[in-house]
Amino acid sequence: MAVKESIRLQKYLAQCGIASRRKAEEYISAGRVKVNGTVVRLAGTTVVEGVDRVQFDNKTVTPETTLFYYLLNKPKGYVTTVSDPQGRPVVTDLIKDCDARLFPVGRLDFDTEGALILTNDGELAQKIQHPSHEVNKTYEAVVYGHPGKARLQQLETGIILDGAKTAPAKVALIKKMSSTSLCRITIHEGKKHQVKNMFKAIGHPVTSLKRTAYGKLSLNKLPLGNARKLSPSDIKKIFL
Ligand code: URA
């Protein structure tokens, strides 16, 4: 019989479909994970599948055998978590035909709509979110006023947000309306409220925001509130 190797707790939790490795580390330090009945707060702890009993929120978890991948067109008014202490609607409510425990990859604000990947594959989630993969995310933002070329250029080269320079972005002005403009922006970073903060920093706050694509995987005609299963070739497009 093959001997299972020991793996880090956060990687094990990712394989169990709990979350990406990074998010699993947060759960570990929050005291939500037990190994053999004892709360473990050290992410470096190692476990062996089939030998150690791992619990998340007091439920025993085991590695997922079937992996699922969905692209959701998230409407406004949903939280990108699997449960919400305030009782607001959560994005997983919108996936009707899957019994697996799915979680969202990254986040979209409550009032942001658009492309959101949900999966039970913690390793893929980790890959999409890890800065080294520089996965592009494209957004359409309606902003106040009519930003001029120089302002948009500032976003393209990088601006200082919270003391750090943002990575170069691709930005285009698509359409001018009477008091607002529609802009498209592609970034590979994913700091909290990043797009809103970037436009605010150049004096053109966002009035509504939609993510239209991860890499070359776009929403196309997926209706708002609907989800579709992703094929292996769709998944490849995320990294293009
Ligand atoms: N940037 C934001 O400001 N909000 C989002 O929801 C996503 C990116």
CATH number of the domain within which 183 lies: 3.30.70.1560
Across 37-50, average pLDDT: 92
Across 5-16, average pLDDT: 92
Q: How many domains does the chain have?
A: 3
Across 97-102, average pLDDT: 88
195 pocket-lining for ligand 1 (C-beta < 6 Å): yes
Provide the whole-model pTM. Answer: 0.86
Looking at the fold, whether 192 and 143 belong to one and the same domain comes out as yes
Residue 97 counted as domain residue: yes
Residue 1 counted as domain residue: no
209 pocket-lining for ligand 1 (C-beta < 6 Å): yes
Q: How much is the pLDDT for 180? A: 98
Q: How far is the CA of 208 from the centre of ligand 1 (A)?
A: 10
Report percent pLDDT > 70 for the chain. Answer: 99
Looking at the fold, whether 96 and 159 belong to one and the same domain comes out as no
Asked if 39 contacts 58 with a C-beta cutoff of 8 angstroms, the reply is: no
Q: How much is the pLDDT for 43? A: 81
Q: Which atom of ligand 1 lies closest to the CA of 137?
A: 8
- CB under 8 Å to 222, separation ≥6 — which residues? 71, 73, 228
Residue 47 lies in domain: 7-60
Q: How much is the pLDDT for 143? A: 98
- pLDDT tens by residue, 181-229: 999 999 999 899 999 999 999 999 999 999 999 999 999 999 999 999 9
Report whether pLDDT(68) > 50.
yes
Q: How far is the CA of 55 from the centre of ligand 1 (A)?
A: 32
Res. 1 pLDDT band, cuts 50 70 90: very low
Q: Which atom of ligand 1 lies closest to the CA of 111?
A: 6
| CATH number of the domain enclosing 12 | 3.10.290.10
Q: Catalytic annotation on 111?
A: no
- CB under 8 Å to 101, separation ≥6 — which residues? 17, 18, 82, 120
- pLDDT tens by residue, 122-139: 999 999 999 999 999 999
Q: How much is the pLDDT for 114? A: 98
Res. 3 pLDDT band, cuts 50 70 90: low
Looking at the fold, whether 118 and 145 belong to one and the same domain comes out as no
Query: Which of 52, 93, 109, 121 is labelled catalytic?
Result: 109
Residue 19 counted as domain residue: yes
Q: How much is the pLDDT for 152? A: 97
Looking at the fold, whether 210 and 156 belong to one and the same domain comes out as yes
Across-strand partners of 182?
142, 175
